[in-house]
Amino acid sequence: MKNYQIAIMEGDGIGPEIVRETVKVLEAVQRKCPALSLSFKPLPVGLSAYEQHGSTLPKETLESLKQCDAGVLGPVTTHIYEVHDPNMVNPSGKLRKQLDLYANIRPSRNFPGVPGRYDNVDMVIVRENTEGMYADRSLYEGDGEVMPTPDTVMSFRVVTRKASERLAKVGFELAEHRRRSVAVIHKMNVLRRGCGLFVDSCRQIAKQYEDVAVSDYHIDAFSMFMVQKPEQYDVVVTTNMFGDILSDLAAGLVGGLGLAPGLNLGDHFMLAQATHGSAPDIAGKNIANPIAEILSAKLMLEWLGIRNKDEQAITAAALIEMAVERTLLKGVKTGDLGGSATTGQFGDELVRQLENIEIREVTRWNK
């Protein structure tokens, strides 16, 4: 039986509160699936790491991560980090780059008991995570933005065939487990070379997945279609910034950021991290919604299962999602979803629901 070493990094703001509930759920699912073996390794990251170890991402954390199979990371309050302090790096961006976590997987779906504008949304945005327009990761050295005069800024956007192809592979692999449809999103009419290379790379990979339907859309038209008929889309593959924006739009279609999980996936490591920020306005009050972080850990188990051909991990992932559904159906919700449960009460109820599910009830994957 494979043992998965999982790094636990709480981060800033509401991070410690939602990561605590996530670990509680992972421990519960491990009790439920005896053939699943997880060990947890707490590692310092964020403002508390800066206070105690002099860096928001201590060297020891990075080194220890290399011994782990996966990690759970809470959100970080990067906008208050001192830009010119080399010890105040953005741990999210740095880890994605250092550990080559090239695909950011962001599902959005309706949950029972959470009223949204639509009923049948179930899509996954697969966003490129290591290049594109994000100034902190597009260059080997330097920050990717140049200011030749006080009133002019030039930002570099990087698109490579290697990054585009490996991203597309993740999208098509995922589609094979789902409804077998991939939409490639771009702005090729204006960014002819960059988006042209991206779309061509995706089309090349598509040839290896003949049973998956592929289409492509300009980002502007696609944004409109997402609002008009979101239930049509299954897997959406796109570049870094487009994916960042579209995934928040997708979260808005189904009930908000509190329900929006994310997984940063590489070939050798993966990092579960909710797509929302550190919500400093509600930090420390025990009212944050932990669902996005918990479902991020669920994605982590799912991909550990895919990568290691481990059915137990995939079943454990499905169990967590079912338990979230049942908790919401029972009406146990945090304030952002119109309920009155605290973060801890939600986690406790989720664990109770999980313990009551029979393994034979578990249906895997959202086909």
Query: Which residues between 277 and 306 bind ligand ATP (CB under 6 A)?
Result: 277-282, 288-289, 292
- CB-neighbour burial class of residue 59 (10 A; exposed 0-12, middle 13-18, buried 19+): exposed
Q: Annotated catalytic residue: which of 81, 134, 217, 233?
A: 134
| Beta-bridge partners for 39 | 5
CB of 94 to ligand ATP, least distance (A): 16
Q: Annotated catalytic residue: which of 122, 136, 143, 248?
A: 248
Helices then strands, counting H and E runs in the chain, come out as 11, 12
- CB-neighbour burial class of residue 74 (10 A; exposed 0-12, middle 13-18, buried 19+): buried
Nearer to ligand ATP, 56 or 315 (CB): 56
Query: Which residues between 69 and 88 bind ligand ATP (CB under 6 A)?
Result: 75, 77, 79
Nearer to ligand ATP, 310 or 336 (CB): 336
Retrieve residue 57's tokens. 């991402």
**Per CB under 6 A, does 257 bind ligand ATP?**
yes
CB of 80 to ligand ATP, least distance (A): 8
Backbone angles phi, psi at 238, to 5 degrees: -155, 170
Task: Name residue 273's amino acid.
Answer: Q
- Return the residue of 276, 298, 326, 333 that touches ligand ATP, per CB under 6 A: 276
User: Does residue 4 have an active-site annotation?
Assistant: no
User: Does residue 330 have an active-site annotation?
Assistant: no
Retrieve residue 232's tokens. 């049509």
Calpha distance 242→139 (Å, rounded): 19
Q: Annotated catalytic residue: which of 169, 187, 298, 333?
A: 187
Q: Say how many residues touch ligand ATP, by CB under 6 A.
A: 18
List the x/- string, 310-339, binding to ligand ATP by CB under 6 A. Answer: --------------------------x---
| Beta-bridge partners for 258 | none
User: Does residue 244 have an active-site annotation?
Assistant: yes
**Per CB under 6 A, does 91 bind ligand ATP?**
no
User: Does residue 12 have an active-site annotation?
Assistant: no
Retrieve residue 133's tokens. 């327009």
CB of 36 to ligand ATP, least distance (A): 26
Alpha-carbon distances of 254 from 149, 250, 266, 291, rounded to whole Å:
43, 7, 27, 13
| Beta-bridge partners for 238 | 127, 185
Nearer to ligand ATP, 336 or 349 (CB): 336
Nearer to ligand ATP, 211 or 281 (CB): 281
Nearer to ligand ATP, 195 or 246 (CB): 246
CB of 16 to ligand ATP, least distance (A): 13
User: Does residue 220 have an active-site annotation?
Assistant: yes
Closest-CA residue to 306 (of 170, 129, 212): 170
Region of 35-43, 91-99, 207-215, 275-283 interacting with ligand ATP (CB under 6 A): 275-283
**Per CB under 6 A, does 258 bind ligand ATP?**
yes
The H or E element that residue 304 is part of is helix 291-308
Retrieve residue 10's tokens. 């709480």
Nearer to ligand ATP, 249 or 257 (CB): 257
27 Cβ partners below 8 Å, 6+ apart? none
How do strand 122-128 and strand 103-109 relate by DSSP bridges? antiparallel
Nearer to ligand ATP, 68 or 288 (CB): 288
Calpha distance 362→198 (Å, rounded): 37
| Beta-bridge partners for 186 | 218
**Per CB under 6 A, does 151 bind ligand ATP?**
no
Residues binding ligand ATP (CB under 6 A) = 13-14, 75, 77, 79, 257-258, 276-282, 288-289, 292, 336
- Give catalytic residue positions: 134, 187, 220, 244, 248
